[in-house]
Chain A
Amino acid sequence: DSGVTQTPKHLITATGQRVTLRCSPRSGDLSVYWYQQSLDQGLQFLIQYYNGEERAKGNILERFSAQQFPDLHSELNLSSLELGDSALYFCASSVQGAAYGYTFGSGTRLTVV
């Protein structure tokens, strides 16, 4: 157990629907990051939050949004889902700062049918 908890582990939903992925960071970590891994693709950075505030944005679609709550857990909302959104979504947390490694959760596998 890495200390980063992601739920659910698997999600199957239909096109056009909306889903919410949840992440609880490792105790003491203030930063949360979301990554997407599509088939045969590397880890694509989506968005970062630090202590409730958005810090950096990557290749995140307008249909996707995220937030970090006062208890530091984070949610990634994916709406108007398309087949191409099927992917493994990872959450990672860290102490803020470039010199600190990330601790990854086990991921949520989203399948859009």
Chain B
Amino acid sequence: NAGVTQTPKFRILKIGQSMTLQCTQDMNHNYMYWYRQDPGMGLKLIYYSVGAGITDKGEVPNGYNVSRSTTEDFPLRLELAAPSQTSVYFCAARPTMNTEAFFGQGTRLTVV
């Protein structure tokens, strides 16, 4: 039972490069989330989605874009990587609001 799968696990980007962090879930959950976690800090919500075709901004959306074309996938796009985006990124999914969320194991991104 895979749950929430994030790829890649690690990545080093140069300033100005772009990349897509992949998140896929096999639980058929409607709600999906992207978070970033800086060293020693809590999780900050970047974007979230309540279903295919619906996305909304979280606390720190600047510099990121998302799409949700299917229930399973919720990719996070960085267009022009900056050192400030060095962080660990977590994806999560849950069936609806007021239910348990399941998290992936994270993607550690370094921008140099």
Q: Note whether A and B form a binding pair.
A: no
- Give B contacts to A, CB under 8 Å: none
- Give A contacts to B, CB under 8 Å: none
